[in-house]
Structure 1
Amino acid sequence: MQRLNHVTRRGAVYVWRRRLPVGSGIRGQFIQISLRTHRFSTAKNLAGIVNRAFCASILSSPPKFGH
């Protein structure tokens, strides 16, 4: 089976999980979203959509520094 970045299987369902960037103000935290599917092909398509949305939201947010 192929491997997808940021996608793992939890039980019977695929989930997308990514660490939040250092400049986000929340250190060492993850965001996890259920893709609500048990099919690899569907998870692959949904992961691309979620990745693009995540990157767009991170790039549009100004970096926050400090504790």
Structure 2
Amino acid sequence: MPHSFDGPSDYVEAAREMAATGRPTLARLLAEEAADRTPDTDRAARILDEFPGRTLRREV
């Protein structure tokens, strides 16, 4: 069933699924998106801490 991404928690849930299925890079990207959409900076930091790794994003 396709995911509906309506908020940060949807991205975190998808990130957890990706981590559980051995896709840590995709999990990290989803976690970064969740963190970006989270207004609470402390919560955003906790999200990123749950999915360690370096970012693959390129800053422009």
Name the TM-score, length of structure 2 as normaliser.
Answer: 0.34
Name the TM-score, length of structure 1 as normaliser.
Answer: 0.31
Structure with greater helix share of residues: 2
Q: Which has the higher Rg, Structure 1 or Structure 2?
A: 1
